[in-house]
Amino acid sequence: MLRSRFRRLAAATAVAVVGLGALTACGDGGGEDENSSGPVKLRFLSLAWQKESLQANKDLVAKWNSEHPDIQVEYVQGDWNSVHDQLVTSFEGGDAADIVHYEASAIGEFSKQGYLADVSKLLSADFKGQIDPGVWDTVTLDGKVTGVPFLLESQVVIANKKLLDAAGVAVPPADGGWTWDEFQANAQKLTKPGQYGVAWALKSPTNRVMNLALNYDGKFFYTDGGKTEVKVGDAEKEVPKRIHDMLYTARSASPEALGMSGADTLPGFFGGKYAMLPGSVSLRQQMVEQAPAGFEWVTLPPVKGLSSKQAANPQTLSISADSKHKKQAAQFLEWFLNPTNMATLAKGDWLVPTGKQANEELVKATGGKQGWDVAADSAADLTVAPFQKVDGYPEWKTKYATPALQQYFANKITLDQLATQLVDGGKQVLR
């Protein structure tokens, strides 16, 4: 998900990272008295790291400060690789920034411990109405909304346009993606000696499978009477089986790509070895920056099963429960994430804004080119998934699901054996 993306690419990006001392420095933070004289001073811990995104964040903070002399925001640079430990220390020490940038799947533990403020009554109805309820659900725990979701990462398909044309495969419209049957059939058409229709980069397969399983209403985690268990029925088996069929029955998917990350498949994709790459919408950035001159690529919409639903794990902005200036922090957030600003932030990160109007503005500003029309349209199908609400998911994923899925996709175990391992792993973790 988002954290893995930032961790993979952080080494390639020159970002000045301020250490724990900057995050927890006493200074003019949210702990000052509400009635003190002078302007209200807020600290904003940002995890922006890409050059364009970093500049957009800093420019917006500077613009706010120039227009709001009574509420001044200090920009504090954070780092995705170390922010969790930094937050633990700063929250426990009572010195956290007033506004914290993170992601929905990670703020739950801080919410449960009471470190994050409920923003549901601090934000206007118009602002909240710009974001779909399913996305708000990702930051809602025990009835409290402890983050503002603002950037999303959907799964799309990047394709070699010349290879599609040569095989007579038409590019679907932004709002009309292929069904899984059509996707598999077209992958077959695009397969010939020396060329595979698709490369599934499944070095880390679990999140991808959990995500796409929603296409068939596959939940994996079921809660009844306060007890959660893993179940693997037909709905959960559908996507793994289809990927496996592409690998070993139709042979339209490259087996060598199984151990790769998305970035690892790019040389083969640019060289015509793979016609399509299912992956993150952010993969478009590498297309723009790394594709050889004259290489034609297109972004295809998410594949559909019973639906095009995918799990949403948005980046979030939260207000510290210890902040003495929650109202002012919320005021800043509504301005920082207004449609125009949210569109700017999304463009800088090659991600999808959660706001409906922000999506419209982004498509208008880009002309829908470079896949922005598809990216914007994909936001409507992103929603909360059961695995995102399970405390034991990270352990289950690491110890049981990832090894089992890797074995299955390597054709070393059967689908039923995969199901058994996933269920048994759930019993160990969710006791």
Q: Which residue has the tokens 């792993």?
A: 425
Q: How many residues belong to the chain?
A: 431
Residue 226 has a pLDDT of: 85
Fold match between 40-153+312-383 and 155-311+388-429? yes
Residues 270-308 have pLDDT tens digits of 999 999 999 999 999 999 999 999 999 999 999 999 999
- Give, as one character, the DSSP assignment of residue 353: E
pLDDT digits (tens, 9 = 90+) for 164-182: 999 999 999 988 899 999 9
Distance between CA atoms of 308 and 180, rounded to whole angstroms? Answer: 10
Q: What is the CATH number of domain 155-311+388-429?
A: 3.40.190.10
Cβ pair 92, 86 in contact under 8 A:
no
Structural fold of domain 40-153+312-383: D-Maltodextrin-Binding Protein; domain 2 (3.40.190)
Question: Is beta strand 40-46 parallel, antiparallel or unpaired with respect to 227-230?
Answer: unpaired
Angle between helices 205-213 and 402-409 (to 10 degrees): 90
- Tokens at 204, concatenated: 């880390």
- Kindly provide the b/e burial profile for residues 310-322, where b requires at least 16 CB atoms within 10 angstroms of the residue's own CB: bbbbbbbbbbbbb
Q: pLDDT band at residue 28, thresholds of 50, 70 and 90?
A: very low
Looking only at the bridges linking them, the beta strands covering 274-280 and 196-198 are parallel
Q: Is the Cβ–Cβ distance between 243 and 200 less than 8 Å?
A: yes
- Domain limits, the chain: 40-153+312-383, 155-311+388-429
CA–CA separation, 170 and 84 (whole Å): 45
**pTM of the model as a whole:** 0.82
**Span 231-238, mean pLDDT?**
98
Distance between CA atoms of 8 and 167, rounded to whole angstroms?
Answer: 34
| Residue 113 near residue 284, CB atoms below 8 Å | no
Indicate if the pLDDT at residue 425 is higher than 50.
Answer: yes
